[in-house]
Amino acid sequence: MLIDTHAHLNFSAFKDDGPDIIQQIVNDDMKVINVGSQLSTSKRAVELADKHQGNLYAAVGLHPIHLFAMDYDEMEMPFKTKKEDFSQEAYEKLAEHKNVVAIGETGLDYFHRPKDIAEMEFINKQKWTFLKELQLAKKLGLPYILHCRDSREKPGQAYKDILAVLKEFKYFKGVIHCFSSDWDIAAKFLDMGLMISFTGIITYPKTNELTRVVKKTPLDRIMAETDAPYLAPQIVRGKRNEPRFVRYIIDQIAEIKGKEFNEVNEAVTRNANQFFGLK
């Protein structure tokens, strides 16, 4: 049994062969959490989860990059974002579906700032929305999935700002997804009681500091995810990522920790089942 705790089969990258990939997930008895990034993809994640109960689950949320209109080029997959303002009412209604297991992805992304938006406005709008999503998670007793990306100019700043918001808000039922910072920052999330989730980035060359984070993070605090369609692990790099490739991430965690695949897989599976309350 494999669990991919963060994928986007709800995205248009899977519009042609999504049904085949989902059929394979059902045949393999995998579990996959499809994570929303705006209202439309959150709705799609809920639809998929309702249709494939026990295999697919949903997280609903507004990703910080969707607060502004912009062109992106993510790992050779270009896309445009439209501006969306967070609607508490719309997301709360969606989050009440029984197959919704988390709020997210939410958080802070300082990597791409649209040229016409001043830095303060850019950061403040993200923080405001992030806080609204934390409030919703707390109100519904759901965990939240955090996205965090630093700007090139100020490494560590987005992570520090997220930590500051969490410290003040004091609801610590979260996972920091696609962790890609250093051990000092990882330790701060762990001290707060959050989980840390790793993607295929840990399989890429020249990720020494991240390898150190994997090594030092206790096995009962780790989850594995693909973030498909993005971030395909090294062995399939250049391809569109898929949930089944989560095995390569679990493999890499096992290798770094000097443990057997099965031991690590059992641990990350148990962690995900507990954290998201999967049935």
- Can you give the binding site for Zn ion, defined by CB under 5 A? 227
Minimal distance, residue 166 CB to Zn ion, in Å: 19
In the bound state with Zn ion, the residue whose beta carbon lies nearer, of 84 and 227, is 227
Minimal distance, residue 104 CB to Zn ion, in Å: 9
In the bound state with Zn ion, the residue whose beta carbon lies nearer, of 147 and 247, is 147
Cα 90 to Cα 94: distance, rounded to the nearest angstrom = 6
CA distances from 271 to 137, 148, 158, 197, 220 (A): 19, 21, 26, 11, 6
Locate 240 and state its tokens.
Answer: 């569109």
Minimal distance, residue 116 CB to Zn ion, in Å: 26
In the bound state with Zn ion, the residue whose beta carbon lies nearer, of 109 and 227, is 227
Minimal distance, residue 146 CB to Zn ion, in Å: 11
CA distances from 109 to 100, 124, 152, 155 (A): 24, 12, 11, 12
Locate 115 and state its tokens.
Answer: 């040229």
Minimal distance, residue 114 CB to Zn ion, in Å: 20
Minimal distance, residue 160 CB to Zn ion, in Å: 21
The residue of the chain with the least Cβ separation from Zn ion equals 227
In the bound state with Zn ion, the residue whose beta carbon lies nearer, of 227 and 242, is 227
In the bound state with Zn ion, the residue whose beta carbon lies nearer, of 94 and 254, is 94
In the bound state with Zn ion, the residue whose beta carbon lies nearer, of 226 and 269, is 226
Minimal distance, residue 227 CB to Zn ion, in Å: 5
In the bound state with Zn ion, the residue whose beta carbon lies nearer, of 3 and 254, is 3
Minimal distance, residue 178 CB to Zn ion, in Å: 7
In the bound state with Zn ion, the residue whose beta carbon lies nearer, of 178 and 254, is 178
189-211 burial, b for 16+ CB within 10 Å, e for fewer? Answer: bbeeebbbbbbbbbbeeebeebe
